[in-house]
Amino acid sequence: MRSFQVLILGILLWSAETLAANPVVEMKTSVGAVRIELYADKAPKTVVNFLQYVKDGFYNGLVFHRVIDGFMIQGGGHYPDLREKKGDRPPIENEAGNGLKNDAGTITMARTSNPHSATAQFFINVADNAFLNFRDASPAGFGYAVFGRVTQGTEVVMRIARTPTGPGGPFPKDVPQQPVIIESITLISDK
Query: What is the reported pLDDT for 19?
Result: 43
**Residue 21: which pLDDT band, with cuts at 50, 70 and 90?**
confident
Domains annotated for the chain, with CATH where assigned, are 23-189 (2.40.100.10)
**Residue 10: which pLDDT band, with cuts at 50, 70 and 90?**
very low
Q: CA quadruple 30, 36, 40, 46: dihedral positive or negative?
A: negative
pLDDT digits (tens, 9 = 90+) for 141-178: 999 999 999 999 999 999 999 999 999 999 999 999 99
Rg (the chain; Cα; Å): 17
Flag the least confident range among 6-10, 33-37, 111-115, 149-153.
6-10
The pTM of this model reads: 0.88
Answer left, alpha or beta for residue 30, where phi above 0 means left and psi between -120 and 50 means alpha: alpha
Cα angle for residues 178, 182, 188 (degrees, 5° grid): 150
Is 70 exceeded by the pLDDT of residue 2?
Answer: no
Taking the C-alpha atoms of residue 146 and residue 45, their distance in angstroms, rounded to an integer, is 12
pLDDT digits (tens, 9 = 90+) for 34-66: 999 999 999 999 999 999 999 999 999 999 999
Report DSSP state, residue 175: E
b or e along 150-184 (b: 16 or more beta carbons within 10 Å of the residue's beta carbon)?
beebeebbeebbebebeebeeeeebbbeebbbbeb
**Residue 6: which pLDDT band, with cuts at 50, 70 and 90?**
very low
Is 60 exceeded by the pLDDT of residue 125?
Answer: yes
Query: What is the reported pLDDT for 9?
Result: 44
